[in-house]
Amino acid sequence: MTDKSAQDRVLIFDTTLRDGEQSPGATMTHSEKLEIAELLDDMGVDIIEAGFPIASEGDFRAVKEIAERSREAVICGLARANFADIDRCWEAVKHSARPRIHTFIGTSPLHRAIPNLTQDEMADRIHQTVSHARNLCDNVQWSPMDATRTEHDYLCRVIEIAIKAGATTINIPDTVGYTAPRESAALIRMLKERVPGADTVIFATHCHNDLGMATANALAAVEAGARQIECTINGLGERAGNTALEEVVMALKVRNDIMPYRTRVDTTKIMNISRRVATVSGFPVQFNKAIVGKNAFAHESGIHQDGMLKNAETFEIMRPEDIGLTASNLVMGKHSGRAALRDKLRQLGHEVGDNQLKDIFVRFKELADRKKEVYDEDIVALVSATADAGNDRLQIVSLKVICGTGGPAEATIEMEVDGKEMIATEHGDGPVDATFKAVRALHPNKARLQLYQVNAVTEGTDAQATVSVRLEEDGMIATGQSADTDTVVASARAYVNALNRLLVRRDKAGPGADRREINYKDVS
């Protein structure tokens, strides 16, 4: 049997807070970013890319505070290839015990055309900016954006320049999810063989999932010599997303026989952070998602069920408890006390303070009065609801809906809008339409509904419904999520949650700012 301690380490670089948050609608609040960073650090992620400090004052503050709070993980910030970005990045990450500057520039023909640089001009800029970053920080990562579509000769040339300028990690991004596993591995091998100084740096792989091959491409790169994987929780990210952290980590753990590499990630903490990222991002995990999906350990086929009863290993290649799904004999209901609820929360990976436990317990009792049995998923939803409750400008006080077959639905909603209680009644094609109209009457807005999605948290007619709402206004996108046994109530809360996130995003962007992302331009 292979000695795992002697195996090569693969560093896990998590970019949920940077690349993941760039997914349209996935903006997180300041407190949510701090919470996710703490969870990532606690689970053993090696490097946390905390944000893009020059993008906004909010991003800068978040990266700076994460850097100050970090315990074990390297804290990294992103910077374009100019001095202003790099200086701002350093100001944010320098407070970490282990800071890193990550600077990049697009090297493919398509991306070279954006700043209108010749190959020589870009090479010179790479030398200047990487040297500048290394003068500030001894841990510098450099990325040739769209590397998989860059000419091999030029890619080798600029990587050699970056290494000589002081880069300690060379990241090879498949920015648009274009490559395939064989090609991904061949590219890493080629660079390690051809680039002078390649043996002095760590090669990293950053894959997108546009063709559904991000995990396979990342693992192929590791087999070829890459020793850092860039990934996100739940595969969150732009377009089809990034390599999913839980997939690569569990693949290396389960198939260690053919991929003899180790990470320091505590896999038993995967499920907790997956649920939390899904909640704060507003992006629910698809039911059949590998590792963390609701159906990942579910078996309905008669043959599968029979095999599972006789020997779980017949149809399960990993145990639920490996990712933090532990079996429990505690059945929660309306007679359950506070101590039992606290114990259940611990089993589910949540350590809460007395004040938050008090809030959760009140909501738990209200839910238990409406449901015969409260499932783990219900309790996770309660934790998310209490964690998200705070200083929102829009808050629902009460909602009353009249609907049926006899005519249009009617919704009467009472809300606090910037601390002032207001009430409105509106009619609509159905209860949800009427409710949303009533909210708009109290908080006029031009937000366009891009997504309205309802999923049951558990089984049964008394199940809580999880509602996701995605809104777009003036180029800004925000997603809200909520759960309740009443689907209309959950819809109203999710809608208001999305509106609150739009307000936060508007304040964060400021007047006249680019609502989606800062422009690619030379600001040095």
Sheet harboring 420-428: ordered strands across? 394-402, 409-417, 420-428
- Cα–Cα distance between 240 and 208 in angstroms, integer? 7
User: What's the number of domains the chain is made of?
Assistant: 4
Dig out the tokens for 27 from the structure: 């903006």
* Continuous segment of H or E residues that includes residue 144: strand 140-145
**Residue whose entry in the numeric block shows the structure tokens 């049964």:** 460
Within its chain, how far is the Cα of 248 from the centroid? 15
Residues 351 and 303 in one domain: no
340 and 428 housed in the same domain: no
- Do 302 and 339 belong to one domain? no
pLDDT of res. 416: 94
Same structural domain, 339 and 423 = no
CB 499 within 8 A of CB 479: no
**Same domain, yes or no: 249 and 139:** yes
**For residue 207, with 0-12 CB atoms within 10 Å meaning exposed, 13-18 middle and 19 or more buried, which class applies?**
buried
Residues 69, 45, 345, 26, CA torsion sign = positive
Question: Any residues with CB less than 8 A from the CB of 413 and at least 6 apart, and which?
Answer: 396, 398, 399, 400, 423, 424, 425, 435, 438, 439, 442, 492
Hey, what are 320's tokens? 């639920």
3-state secondary structure of 230: strand
Alpha-carbon distances, residue 168 vs 90, 119, 172, 321, 429 (angstroms): 16, 23, 13, 37, 60
- List CB contacts of 479: < 8 A, sequence separation 6 or more: 25, 26, 281, 282, 283, 451, 468, 469, 470, 471, 498, 501
The Cα 379–Cα 369 span in angstroms is 14
Distances (CA, A) of 225 to 148, 185, 221, 524: 16, 8, 6, 35
Query: Does residue 21 sit in the same domain as residue 122?
Result: yes
pLDDT in tens, the chain (524 residues): 456 777 899 999 999 999 998 887 777 888 889 999 999 999 999 999 999 999 989 899 999 999 999 999 999 999 999 999 999 999 999 999 999 999 999 999 999 999 899 999 999 999 999 999 999 999 999 999 999 999 999 999 999 999 999 999 999 999 999 999 999 999 999 999 999 999 999 999 999 999 999 999 999 999 999 999 999 999 999 999 999 999 999 999 999 999 999 999 999 999 999 988 988 887 888 889 999 998 888 744 343 334 434 445 554 689 899 998 865 545 677 778 888 888 888 877 777 888 888 888 888 888 888 777 787 778 877 776 666 555 689 999 999 999 988 789 999 999 999 999 999 999 999 999 999 999 999 999 999 999 898 988 777 777 888 898 999 998 888 888 888 889 999 999 999 989 998 988 777 665 544 443 333 333 33
Residue 333 and residue 232 share a domain = no
Q: Is residue 456 part of a domain?
A: yes
In a domain, residue 486? The reply is yes
Tokens of 378: 């219900």
pLDDT at 314: 54
Q: Is the dihedral of CA 85, 89, 90, 91 positive or negative?
A: positive
Distances (CA, A) of 28 to 21, 141, 350: 7, 25, 20
Residues 398 and 318 in one domain: no
Per-residue confidence (pLDDT) for residue 221, from 0 to 100: 98
Contact by Cβ (8 Å): 18, 54 = no
Which residue is it, tokens 């499932």? 375
pLDDT, position 509? 62
Write the single-letter amino acid at 468: S
Shared domain check, 424 and 384: no
pLDDT digits (tens, 9 = 90+) for 33-42: 999 999 999 9
Residues contacting residue 408 through CB under 8 Å, at least 6 positions apart: 427, 428, 429, 434
The residue type at 302: G
| Sequence ranges of the binding site | 19, 206, 208, 242
- Number of other CB atoms surrounding residue 444 within 10 Å: 7
Query: What's the CATH number where 398 sits?
Result: 3.30.160.270
Relative to beta strand 409-417, strand 420-428 is antiparallel
Considering 223, 246, 281, which residue would you say is the last residue of a domain? Answer: 281
**DSSP letter string over 322-352?**
GGT-----PPB-TT--HHHHHHHHHHTT---
Q: Are residues 361 and 411 in the same domain?
A: no
Q: What is the pLDDT of residue 2?
A: 54
For helices 338-347 and 376-388, what crossing angle results, to 10°? 100
Q: Which residues are known binding-site members for Mn(2+)?
A: 19, 206, 208, 242
Domain that holds residue 244: 8-281
Does one domain contain both 239 and 366? no
pLDDT (tens digit, 9 = 90+) per residue, 45-73?
Answer: 999 999 999 998 989 999 999 999 999 99
Do 19 and 141 share a domain, yes or no? yes
Q: How many CB atoms lie within 10 A of CB 183?
A: 14
Domain-terminating residue out of 224, 251, 281 = 281
Rounded distance, CA 123 to CA 30, Å? 37
321: β partners: none
The last residue of one of the domains, among 355, 389, 423, is: 389
CATH number for the domain spanning 160: value is: 3.20.20.70
Q: 524 lies in a domain?
A: no
Is residue 144 one of the residues assigned to a domain?
A: yes
Distance of CA 359 to the CA centre of its chain: 26
